[in-house]
Structure 1
């Protein structure tokens, strides 16, 4: 999927990218409301998030520096970071 610079990323799109980039733990259901569930509880570590950031860079044309990912610990926080970066890039 490719997106314009002014296209916002949704939680659903993010969880799909998360699944495709980093897999899905057998004990975790990403179809529910996971927006505020910490990545550690979802079974994802910082390496998985770097994979996702790379995929978002390719799909959305937005660069997420590693230091910007520090403190991003939930899907909602990650999506908000992407969307604020898209807004300033556009």
Structure 2
């Protein structure tokens, strides 16, 4: 591989690796939100008070929204750094 090819290929490979790792972290953090969803549905069958279910549902939504937002921010920052490195 020539030095010229390496200069534009390296940022693409870094972006791909960072995207993969970021996706795995997103999935790991999303699992508790999915678990909360299953818990809420299970507790509904046990006649748990509505307020408790509402709090758990709220926490589930907040966890998933924050996780997704931070994932998008991470991908945008990583893409910006990759483009900046490619055109340097």
TM norm structure 1: 0.29
TM norm structure 2: 0.30
Q: Rg: which structure is higher?
A: 2
Higher helix share: 2
Ranked by relative contact order (alpha carbons within 8 Å, sequence separation 6 or more), the top structure is: 2
